[in-house]
Amino acid sequence: MTRNVRLPLLLVGFGILALLVWRAGPRLLLSLLIRVGWSFPAIAAIYAAYVGARAVALWRSVPGGAVGLTDALRIRLSGQAIETLSLSGPVFAEPAKGWLLKRRGLTTVDAFAAVVTEYVLYNVTCAWVAALAVSWLLARGSLPHAARLGAIAVLATTIAFIAVFAFAAITGVGLIVPILRASHLLIGARRATRAARTFGRIEKVLVAFLHVHHGRLAEVLAIETASQLLLMLEIWIVIGALGFSPSWGPPFIIEGGGKFIGIAFAFIPGQFGAAEGVYALLAGAIGLPTAAGLTLALVRRIRSLLLAAAGVVALAMFDARHGSSHR
Protein backbone atom coordinates (compact mmCIF):
# COMPACT_ATOMS: atom_id res chain seq x y z
CA MET A 1 0.00 0.00 0.00
CA THR A 2 1.52 3.33 -1.03
CA ARG A 3 2.16 6.16 1.40
CA ASN A 4 -0.45 8.28 -0.39
CA VAL A 5 -3.10 5.71 0.57
CA ARG A 6 -1.74 4.76 4.01
CA LEU A 7 -1.65 8.31 5.35
CA PRO A 8 -5.35 9.11 4.72
CA LEU A 9 -6.35 5.73 6.19
CA LEU A 10 -4.19 6.37 9.23
CA LEU A 11 -5.84 9.77 9.70
CA VAL A 12 -9.27 8.14 9.41
CA GLY A 13 -8.22 5.60 12.04
CA PHE A 14 -7.07 8.33 14.40
CA GLY A 15 -10.35 10.15 13.78
CA ILE A 16 -12.34 7.04 14.74
CA LEU A 17 -10.18 6.59 17.83
CA ALA A 18 -10.73 10.22 18.84
CA LEU A 19 -14.49 9.79 18.37
CA LEU A 20 -14.50 6.66 20.54
CA VAL A 21 -12.53 8.44 23.27
CA TRP A 22 -14.89 11.43 23.14
CA ARG A 23 -18.00 9.22 23.36
CA ALA A 24 -16.59 7.19 26.24
CA GLY A 25 -15.46 10.31 28.08
CA PRO A 26 -11.78 11.29 28.31
CA ARG A 27 -11.96 11.67 32.09
CA LEU A 28 -13.50 8.22 32.51
CA LEU A 29 -10.86 6.63 30.29
CA LEU A 30 -8.08 8.41 32.16
CA SER A 31 -9.46 7.18 35.49
CA LEU A 32 -9.66 3.61 34.13
CA LEU A 33 -6.09 3.77 32.82
CA ILE A 34 -4.93 5.00 36.23
CA ARG A 35 -6.66 2.01 37.85
CA VAL A 36 -4.65 -0.29 35.62
CA GLY A 37 -1.43 1.47 36.60
CA TRP A 38 -0.22 -0.83 39.39
CA SER A 39 -1.03 -3.90 37.31
CA PHE A 40 0.83 -2.69 34.24
CA PRO A 41 4.20 -4.31 35.12
CA ALA A 42 2.43 -7.68 35.33
CA ILE A 43 0.67 -7.00 32.02
CA ALA A 44 3.96 -6.08 30.34
CA ALA A 45 5.64 -9.19 31.78
CA ILE A 46 2.84 -11.43 30.49
CA TYR A 47 3.10 -9.92 27.03
CA ALA A 48 6.87 -10.42 27.09
CA ALA A 49 6.23 -14.06 27.99
CA TYR A 50 3.81 -14.29 25.06
CA VAL A 51 6.46 -12.99 22.66
CA GLY A 52 8.96 -15.39 24.22
CA ALA A 53 6.59 -18.31 23.69
CA ARG A 54 6.25 -17.44 20.03
CA ALA A 55 10.03 -17.20 19.79
CA VAL A 56 10.27 -20.76 21.11
CA ALA A 57 7.65 -21.81 18.55
CA LEU A 58 9.72 -20.20 15.78
CA TRP A 59 12.84 -21.94 17.08
CA ARG A 60 11.11 -25.32 16.98
CA SER A 61 9.80 -24.59 13.46
CA VAL A 62 13.28 -24.14 11.97
CA PRO A 63 14.29 -27.25 9.95
CA GLY A 64 16.99 -29.26 11.68
CA GLY A 65 17.36 -26.89 14.64
CA ALA A 66 19.81 -24.78 12.65
CA VAL A 67 19.17 -21.62 14.72
CA GLY A 68 19.70 -21.21 18.45
CA LEU A 69 16.95 -20.15 20.86
CA THR A 70 18.71 -16.87 21.66
CA ASP A 71 18.79 -15.91 17.99
CA ALA A 72 15.14 -16.92 17.61
CA LEU A 73 14.24 -14.64 20.53
CA ARG A 74 16.17 -11.72 19.03
CA ILE A 75 14.49 -12.30 15.67
CA ARG A 76 11.05 -12.48 17.25
CA LEU A 77 11.65 -9.25 19.20
CA SER A 78 12.97 -7.56 16.06
CA GLY A 79 9.89 -8.63 14.13
CA GLN A 80 7.69 -7.33 16.95
CA ALA A 81 9.38 -3.94 16.71
CA ILE A 82 8.90 -3.78 12.95
CA GLU A 83 5.25 -4.85 13.26
CA THR A 84 4.45 -2.24 15.91
CA LEU A 85 6.50 0.73 14.77
CA SER A 86 5.80 0.39 11.04
CA LEU A 87 2.03 0.08 11.67
CA SER A 88 2.03 -2.61 8.99
CA GLY A 89 1.17 -5.67 11.07
CA PRO A 90 2.69 -8.90 9.72
CA VAL A 91 3.03 -7.53 6.16
CA PHE A 92 6.60 -6.37 6.80
CA ALA A 93 7.33 -8.16 10.08
CA GLU A 94 7.04 -11.76 8.84
CA PRO A 95 9.27 -11.30 5.75
CA ALA A 96 11.75 -9.43 7.96
CA LYS A 97 11.99 -12.45 10.26
CA GLY A 98 12.68 -14.64 7.24
CA TRP A 99 15.42 -12.28 6.14
CA LEU A 100 16.98 -12.31 9.63
CA LEU A 101 16.87 -16.11 9.74
CA LYS A 102 18.61 -16.20 6.38
CA ARG A 103 21.36 -14.01 7.81
CA ARG A 104 21.92 -16.67 10.47
CA GLY A 105 22.90 -19.17 7.77
CA LEU A 106 19.61 -20.74 6.66
CA THR A 107 18.74 -21.11 3.01
CA THR A 108 16.09 -18.77 1.68
CA VAL A 109 13.56 -21.61 1.46
CA ASP A 110 14.22 -22.93 4.97
CA ALA A 111 14.23 -19.44 6.51
CA PHE A 112 10.91 -18.37 5.06
CA ALA A 113 9.39 -21.83 5.49
CA ALA A 114 10.14 -21.63 9.24
CA VAL A 115 8.46 -18.23 9.47
CA VAL A 116 5.43 -19.42 7.48
CA THR A 117 5.16 -22.60 9.57
CA GLU A 118 5.16 -20.70 12.87
CA TYR A 119 2.73 -18.11 11.52
CA VAL A 120 0.34 -20.75 10.17
CA LEU A 121 0.35 -22.78 13.40
CA TYR A 122 -0.17 -19.63 15.47
CA ASN A 123 -3.15 -18.75 13.31
CA VAL A 124 -4.51 -22.28 13.66
CA THR A 125 -4.73 -21.75 17.43
CA CYS A 126 -6.20 -18.29 16.78
CA ALA A 127 -8.82 -19.90 14.57
CA TRP A 128 -9.78 -22.40 17.27
CA VAL A 129 -10.25 -19.64 19.84
CA ALA A 130 -12.06 -17.35 17.39
CA ALA A 131 -14.45 -20.08 16.20
CA LEU A 132 -15.48 -20.97 19.74
CA ALA A 133 -15.82 -17.36 20.88
CA VAL A 134 -17.79 -16.19 17.84
CA SER A 135 -20.03 -19.26 18.01
CA TRP A 136 -20.84 -18.39 21.63
CA LEU A 137 -21.61 -14.76 20.73
CA LEU A 138 -23.88 -15.81 17.86
CA ALA A 139 -25.66 -18.47 19.90
CA ARG A 140 -26.34 -16.02 22.72
CA GLY A 141 -27.44 -13.24 20.35
CA SER A 142 -25.01 -10.93 22.12
CA LEU A 143 -23.89 -9.02 19.04
CA PRO A 144 -25.76 -6.11 17.47
CA HIS A 145 -27.63 -7.04 14.31
CA ALA A 146 -25.21 -5.03 12.16
CA ALA A 147 -22.25 -7.05 13.47
CA ARG A 148 -23.80 -10.49 13.06
CA LEU A 149 -23.05 -10.76 9.33
CA GLY A 150 -19.40 -9.96 9.95
CA ALA A 151 -19.29 -12.50 12.79
CA ILE A 152 -20.76 -15.20 10.53
CA ALA A 153 -18.13 -14.40 7.88
CA VAL A 154 -15.38 -14.68 10.53
CA LEU A 155 -16.76 -18.02 11.71
CA ALA A 156 -16.95 -19.40 8.17
CA THR A 157 -13.40 -18.23 7.42
CA THR A 158 -11.95 -19.77 10.58
CA ILE A 159 -13.66 -23.10 9.96
CA ALA A 160 -12.40 -23.16 6.37
CA PHE A 161 -8.87 -22.35 7.53
CA ILE A 162 -8.91 -25.14 10.11
CA ALA A 163 -10.21 -27.55 7.45
CA VAL A 164 -7.40 -26.61 5.04
CA PHE A 165 -4.82 -27.10 7.80
CA ALA A 166 -6.26 -30.51 8.73
CA PHE A 167 -6.32 -31.57 5.06
CA ALA A 168 -2.64 -30.67 4.57
CA ALA A 169 -1.58 -32.34 7.83
CA ILE A 170 -3.46 -35.57 7.09
CA THR A 171 -2.83 -35.94 3.35
CA GLY A 172 0.49 -34.17 2.89
CA VAL A 173 -1.01 -32.18 0.02
CA GLY A 174 -0.76 -28.39 0.02
CA LEU A 175 -3.53 -26.20 -1.33
CA ILE A 176 -1.84 -22.79 -1.49
CA VAL A 177 0.08 -23.40 -4.73
CA PRO A 178 -3.03 -24.67 -6.60
CA ILE A 179 -4.87 -21.57 -5.39
CA LEU A 180 -2.04 -19.35 -6.63
CA ARG A 181 -2.10 -21.06 -10.02
CA ALA A 182 -5.86 -20.62 -10.23
CA SER A 183 -5.47 -16.90 -9.51
CA HIS A 184 -4.28 -16.30 -13.07
CA LEU A 185 -7.77 -15.05 -13.88
CA LEU A 186 -7.23 -12.19 -11.44
CA ILE A 187 -3.51 -11.39 -11.59
CA GLY A 188 -2.50 -12.79 -14.95
CA ALA A 189 -0.88 -16.07 -15.99
CA ARG A 190 2.72 -14.85 -15.70
CA ARG A 191 2.34 -13.48 -12.19
CA ALA A 192 0.35 -16.50 -11.04
CA THR A 193 2.99 -18.91 -12.38
CA ARG A 194 5.80 -16.92 -10.78
CA ALA A 195 4.01 -16.78 -7.42
CA ALA A 196 3.25 -20.51 -7.49
CA ARG A 197 6.85 -21.36 -8.40
CA THR A 198 8.26 -19.08 -5.69
CA PHE A 199 5.99 -20.29 -2.91
CA GLY A 200 5.96 -23.93 -4.05
CA ARG A 201 9.30 -24.75 -2.42
CA ILE A 202 8.27 -23.07 0.82
CA GLU A 203 4.93 -24.88 0.88
CA LYS A 204 6.72 -28.19 0.34
CA VAL A 205 8.72 -27.67 3.56
CA LEU A 206 5.61 -26.47 5.41
CA VAL A 207 3.51 -29.46 4.36
CA ALA A 208 6.33 -31.86 5.24
CA PHE A 209 6.44 -30.35 8.73
CA LEU A 210 2.68 -30.80 9.14
CA HIS A 211 2.47 -34.29 7.64
CA VAL A 212 5.72 -35.95 8.72
CA HIS A 213 7.00 -34.33 11.91
CA HIS A 214 4.03 -35.10 14.15
CA GLY A 215 5.97 -34.69 17.40
CA ARG A 216 7.26 -31.23 16.55
CA LEU A 217 3.86 -30.26 15.15
CA ALA A 218 2.19 -31.15 18.45
CA GLU A 219 4.95 -29.33 20.34
CA VAL A 220 4.58 -26.10 18.39
CA LEU A 221 0.78 -26.23 18.62
CA ALA A 222 1.07 -26.65 22.39
CA ILE A 223 3.41 -23.66 22.60
CA GLU A 224 1.10 -21.53 20.45
CA THR A 225 -1.88 -22.54 22.61
CA ALA A 226 0.07 -21.44 25.68
CA SER A 227 0.64 -18.07 24.01
CA GLN A 228 -3.13 -17.71 23.54
CA LEU A 229 -3.67 -18.43 27.24
CA LEU A 230 -1.15 -15.71 28.11
CA LEU A 231 -3.13 -13.17 26.09
CA MET A 232 -6.29 -14.21 27.93
CA LEU A 233 -4.50 -13.89 31.26
CA GLU A 234 -3.53 -10.36 30.26
CA ILE A 235 -7.20 -9.48 29.67
CA TRP A 236 -8.16 -11.16 32.96
CA ILE A 237 -5.73 -8.92 34.85
CA VAL A 238 -6.97 -5.77 33.09
CA ILE A 239 -10.61 -6.59 33.87
CA GLY A 240 -9.75 -7.21 37.51
CA ALA A 241 -7.72 -4.01 37.73
CA LEU A 242 -10.67 -2.02 36.39
CA GLY A 243 -12.75 -3.23 39.33
CA PHE A 244 -14.92 -5.81 37.60
CA SER A 245 -15.31 -9.35 38.85
CA PRO A 246 -12.78 -11.37 36.85
CA SER A 247 -13.72 -14.74 35.40
CA TRP A 248 -12.31 -16.70 32.47
CA GLY A 249 -15.36 -16.25 30.24
CA PRO A 250 -14.88 -12.57 29.27
CA PRO A 251 -11.14 -12.89 28.47
CA PHE A 252 -11.85 -15.87 26.24
CA ILE A 253 -14.68 -14.11 24.39
CA ILE A 254 -12.82 -10.82 23.97
CA GLU A 255 -9.60 -12.46 22.82
CA GLY A 256 -11.38 -14.87 20.48
CA GLY A 257 -13.78 -12.28 19.12
CA GLY A 258 -10.95 -9.86 18.39
CA LYS A 259 -8.74 -12.30 16.51
CA PHE A 260 -9.91 -11.13 13.09
CA ILE A 261 -8.94 -7.47 13.66
CA GLY A 262 -5.54 -7.68 11.99
CA ILE A 263 -6.96 -9.40 8.90
CA ALA A 264 -10.28 -7.62 8.51
CA PHE A 265 -8.73 -4.18 9.01
CA ALA A 266 -5.30 -4.80 7.50
CA PHE A 267 -5.85 -1.82 5.20
CA ILE A 268 -5.82 0.54 8.22
CA PRO A 269 -2.24 1.13 9.44
CA GLY A 270 -1.91 -0.23 12.95
CA GLN A 271 -5.67 -0.89 12.96
CA PHE A 272 -6.04 2.44 14.75
CA GLY A 273 -9.67 3.04 15.63
CA ALA A 274 -10.74 -0.37 14.32
CA ALA A 275 -9.15 -2.35 17.16
CA GLU A 276 -10.52 0.04 19.76
CA GLY A 277 -13.99 -0.14 18.23
CA VAL A 278 -13.99 -3.95 18.15
CA TYR A 279 -12.83 -4.26 21.76
CA ALA A 280 -15.49 -1.76 22.85
CA LEU A 281 -18.13 -3.76 20.92
CA LEU A 282 -17.04 -7.06 22.47
CA ALA A 283 -16.96 -5.60 25.96
CA GLY A 284 -20.53 -4.37 25.54
CA ALA A 285 -21.59 -7.75 24.14
CA ILE A 286 -20.58 -9.54 27.36
CA GLY A 287 -22.00 -6.97 29.73
CA LEU A 288 -18.96 -4.80 30.42
CA PRO A 289 -18.91 -1.04 29.80
CA THR A 290 -17.67 -0.17 26.35
CA ALA A 291 -15.11 2.08 28.06
CA ALA A 292 -13.57 -1.05 29.57
CA GLY A 293 -12.97 -2.50 26.10
CA LEU A 294 -11.50 0.78 24.91
CA THR A 295 -9.21 0.89 27.95
CA LEU A 296 -8.02 -2.65 27.21
CA ALA A 297 -7.17 -1.66 23.63
CA LEU A 298 -5.19 1.37 24.82
CA VAL A 299 -3.32 -0.67 27.44
CA ARG A 300 -2.38 -3.20 24.76
CA ARG A 301 -1.05 -0.45 22.52
CA ILE A 302 1.11 0.93 25.33
CA ARG A 303 2.65 -2.43 26.27
CA SER A 304 3.27 -3.19 22.57
CA LEU A 305 5.20 0.07 22.21
CA LEU A 306 7.32 -0.76 25.27
CA LEU A 307 8.21 -4.18 23.91
CA ALA A 308 8.86 -2.66 20.49
CA ALA A 309 11.54 -0.53 22.15
CA ALA A 310 13.15 -3.73 23.41
CA GLY A 311 12.83 -5.10 19.88
CA VAL A 312 14.80 -2.17 18.46
CA VAL A 313 17.60 -2.97 20.91
CA ALA A 314 17.42 -6.65 19.90
CA LEU A 315 17.64 -5.72 16.22
CA ALA A 316 20.68 -3.55 16.88
CA MET A 317 22.34 -6.36 18.83
CA PHE A 318 21.53 -8.79 16.02
CA ASP A 319 23.18 -6.53 13.46
CA ALA A 320 26.21 -6.00 15.71
CA ARG A 321 26.64 -9.73 16.26
CA HIS A 322 26.16 -10.51 12.58
CA GLY A 323 28.69 -7.86 11.61
CA SER A 324 31.29 -9.12 14.08
CA SER A 325 30.90 -12.69 12.83
CA HIS A 326 32.07 -11.58 9.37
CA ARG A 327 35.22 -9.80 10.53
Whether residue 150 is contained in a domain is answered as yes
pLDDT of 172: 92
Worst-scoring range by mean pLDDT, 142-146, 151-155, 204-208, 216-220? 142-146
What is the mean predicted confidence (pLDDT) over 144-154? 86
Say how many domains are in the chain.
1
pLDDT > 70? residue 326? no
Q: Please enumerate, as own/partner, the contacts of 215-222 that have beta carbons within 8 Å and a separation of 24 or more.
A: 216/60, 216/61, 217/121, 217/169, 219/60, 220/57, 220/60, 220/61, 220/117, 220/118, 220/121, 221/121, 221/124, 221/125
The confidence band for 98, taking pLDDT boundaries of 50, 70 and 90, is very high
Whether residue 44 is contained in a domain is answered as no
What is the mean predicted confidence (pLDDT) over 106-114? 93
pLDDT of 251: 94
- What is the DSSP annotation of 220-248? HHHHHHHHHHHHHHHHHHHHHHTTS---S
pLDDT > 70? residue 325? no
Residue type, 291: A
The predicted-structure confidence for 186-200, as pLDDT tens digits, reads as follows 777 788 788 888 888
Q: Are 80 and 93 in contact (CB under 8 A)?
A: yes
Q: What letters, b where the CB count within 10 A reaches 16 and e where it falls short, cover 132-168? A: ebbebbeeeebbeeebeeebeebbebbeebbebbeeb
Q: Are 113 and 63 in contact (CB under 8 A)?
A: yes
Return the percentage of the chain with pLDDT > 70, whole number.
Answer: 93
Whether residue 153 is contained in a domain is answered as yes
Whether residue 165 is contained in a domain is answered as yes
Whether residue 216 is contained in a domain is answered as yes
Whether residue 31 is contained in a domain is answered as no
- Give me the phi and psi of 232, to 5 degrees please: -70, -40
Whether residue 22 is contained in a domain is answered as no
The confidence band for 324, taking pLDDT boundaries of 50, 70 and 90, is low
Domain span holding position 87: 54-315
What is the mean predicted confidence (pLDDT) over 9-23? 85
The predicted-structure confidence for 221-265, as pLDDT tens digits, reads as follows 999 999 999 999 999 999 999 998 778 889 999 999 988 776 677
pLDDT of 323: 55
Whether residue 284 is contained in a domain is answered as yes
pLDDT > 80? residue 136? yes
Q: Using alpha carbons, select from 137, 121, 120 the residue that is nearest to residue 256.
A: 137
